[in-house]
């Protein structure tokens, strides 16, 4: 039975969570997850390079063919949206280089897909991620759990495809 490897990313300049899941038939399990932490004492370009490098390394190690990434909640202010955008830019360039299909999902879509309601709490999401991936513990930090949730969301809702990447 063929398997599908999916990367999930929860982007942020200070913390970018990532998680890799494998789907074989109807079963899904986690292969790895983690978080890139950067400090505001570092230059922005350096922080972005580390996010880009770490995500590139994860992609080279696990060879995901698809990516689920959280779309940004526009209720946030412009300053935090800019920082999240920078982290997304660094991570998405890494994905584009490896010809990975990208799906963007709103926080509500992810909650709906994982828990069944768009108003689910963070704890409900974490509990369901643990259960759906057969993990012994709730994955930590939060950013990694959110990244795994984005990967599961991608697994359930996959379909979109980036045409320019298929030409390479």
Q: Which member of 10, 66, 86, 146 is catalytic? A: 10
Considering the complex, state which of residue 4 and residue 81 has its C-beta at the smaller distance from its own copies. 81
Do the Cβ atoms of 81 and 72 come closer than 8 Å? yes
- What residue ranges bind its own copies (CB under 8 A)? 42-46, 48-49, 52, 72, 74-90, 92-93, 95-97, 100, 102, 104, 162-165
- Report, in Å, the least distance between residue 38 CB and its own copies: 10
Do the Cβ atoms of 69 and 92 come closer than 8 Å? yes
Q: Which member of 22, 54, 66, 70 is catalytic? A: 70
Query: Is 70 noted as a catalytic residue in this protein?
Result: yes
Query: Is 22 noted as a catalytic residue in this protein?
Result: no
- Report, in Å, the least distance between residue 55 CB and its own copies: 11
Taking the C-alpha atoms of residue 87 and residue 52, their distance in angstroms, rounded to an integer, is 8
Considering the complex, state which of residue 94 and residue 132 has its C-beta at the smaller distance from its own copies. 94
Do the Cβ atoms of 12 and 47 come closer than 8 Å? no
Query: Is 146 noted as a catalytic residue in this protein?
Result: no
φ, ψ of residue 30 to 5 degrees: the values are -85, 135
Taking the C-alpha atoms of residue 36 and residue 13, their distance in angstroms, rounded to an integer, is 9
By annotation, the residues acting in catalysis are: 10, 70, 142
């Amino acid at each position: 039975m063929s398997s599908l490897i999916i990367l999930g990313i929860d982007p942020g300049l200070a913390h970018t969570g990532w998680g890799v899941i494998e789907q074989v038939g109807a079963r899904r399990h986690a292969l790895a997850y983690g978080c890139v932490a950067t400090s505001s004492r570092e230059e922005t370009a350096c922080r972005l390079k580390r996010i880009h490098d770490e995500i590139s390394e994860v992609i080279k190690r696990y060879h995901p063919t698809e990516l689920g990434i959280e779309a940004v909640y526009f209720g946030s202010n412009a300053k935090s949206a800019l920082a999240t955008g920078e982290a997304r830019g660094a991570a998405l360039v890494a994905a584009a280089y490896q010809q990975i299909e990208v799906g963007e999902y709103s926080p509500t879509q992810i909650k709906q897909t994982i828990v069944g309601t768009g108003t689910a709490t963070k704890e409900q999401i974490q509990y369901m991620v643990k259960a759906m991936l057969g993990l012994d513990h709730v994955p930590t930090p939060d950013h990694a759990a959110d990244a795994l949730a984005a990967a599961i969301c991608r697994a359930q809702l996959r379909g979109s495809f980036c045409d320019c990447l298929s030409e390479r």
